[in-house]
């Protein structure tokens, strides 16, 4: 089913849409307004979209947004991936939640630690925390898209389980696959400002030295 009456997606959700594989069933976890679910179903990119949310009111908004797509969108009420059977969706989008919530959702569903699933993650906060957790837990950061939406910089992460667990460097956590993308300097400045802010709470010593070193590396990236 493909219609021309599709919702307008902001830059974040537009980038998330682009990472969803055509022809696959997608689950939009935390669908809220339902725009991404509607776009995926209405464009014909996904034959079936599972629009999921923790709360009834957002899910009701999604029902309205997707009403015209009939059986191409199903609705699930509940937390995270608990509303899905393993294998029901191949492409899983979790957008607009903080990194810790995204991590809780993934950690609570061991079946998603499998290369068949294409993960599209859009953390609202703490991008570095999510990158670190993914790499430590065997997910490869395949790609990222830097986006500006509502005056803030976001990263849209495309990840896939490989089973290779490792400890990422601090710089990798902070910058991910962003270096070289349009807007990267502004993103590094946003990350750098946060580091400097957090550093204020640290006692002098090893931790502080490590943060100093990271700030220096980031500044070298900004002004090479
Ligand atoms: C800020 S909205 C994001 C909407 C949309 N995904 C976006 O990025 O524009 C966050 C949504 O996630 C839902 N949510 C929060 N925690 C959740 C969880 N554990 N499982 C499913 N949905 C959750 C909230 O109810 C809310 O509708």
Distance CA 25, CA 125 (A): 27
Atom 14 of ligand 1, residue of closest alpha carbon? 30
> Is the predicted pLDDT of residue 73 greater than 80, yes or no?
yes
Collapsed DSSP state (helix, strand, coil) of residue 38? helix
| pLDDT tens track for 180-219 | 999 999 999 898 888 887 777 666 666 667 778 888 887 7
Q: Which of 53, 89, 120, 123 to mutate to test the pocket of ligand 1 (most atoms within 8 A of CB)?
A: 53
How far is residue 224 CA from its own chain's centroid? 29
% of residues, the chain, pLDDT over 90: 77
Q: Which atom of ligand 1 is nearest to the CA of 58?
A: 27
Q: Tell whether ligand 1 has an atom less than 6 A from the beta carbon of residue 29.
A: yes
Q: Predicted confidence band at 94 (pLDDT cuts at 50, 70, 90)?
A: very high
Shortest-distance atom of ligand 1 to CA 31 = 6
The answer to whether residue 112 scores a pLDDT higher than 60 is yes
Supply 69's token pair: 């797509």
Contact 80, 97 (CB under 8 A): no
d(CA 101, ligand 1 centre) in Å: 10
Q: Minimal CA–CA distance to 74: which of 90, 56, 87, 59?
A: 59
Is residue 94 lining ligand 1, measured as CB closer than 6 Å? no
152-161 and 118-123 as β-strands: parallel, antiparallel, unpaired?
antiparallel
Q: Where are the alpha helices (DSSP H) in 83-160?
A: 99-107, 127-136
Judged against a pLDDT cut of 60, whether residue 137 lies above it is answered with yes
């Amino acid at each position: 089913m493909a219609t021309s009456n599709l919702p307008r997606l902001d830059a974040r959700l537009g980038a998330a849409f682009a990472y969803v594989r055509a022809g696959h069933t997608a689950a939009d976890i935390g669908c809220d307004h339902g725009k991404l679910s509607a776009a995926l179903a209405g464009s014909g990119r996904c034959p079936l979209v599972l629009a999921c949310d923790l709360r009834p009111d957002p899910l009701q908004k999604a029902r309205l947004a997707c009403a015209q797509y009939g059986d191409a969108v199903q609705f699930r009420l509940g937390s995270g991936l608990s509303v899905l059977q393993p294998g029901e969706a191949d492409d899983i989008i979790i957008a607009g939640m903080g990194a810790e919530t995204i991590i809780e959702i993934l950690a609570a569903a061991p079946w998603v630690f499998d290369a068949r699933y294409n993960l599209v993650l859009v953390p609202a906060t703490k991008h570095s925390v999510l990158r670190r957790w993914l790499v430590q837990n065997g997910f490869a950061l395949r790609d990222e898209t830097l986006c500006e939406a509502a005056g803030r910089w976001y990263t849209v992460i495309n990840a896939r389980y490989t089973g290779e667990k490792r400890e990422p460097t601090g710089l990798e956590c902070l910058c991910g696959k962003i270096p070289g993308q349009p807007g990267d300097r502004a993103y590094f400045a946003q990350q750098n400002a946060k580091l400097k802010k957090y550093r204020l709470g640290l006692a002098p010593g090893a931790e502080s030295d490590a943060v100093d070193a990271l700030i220096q590396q980031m500044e070298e990236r900004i002004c090479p």
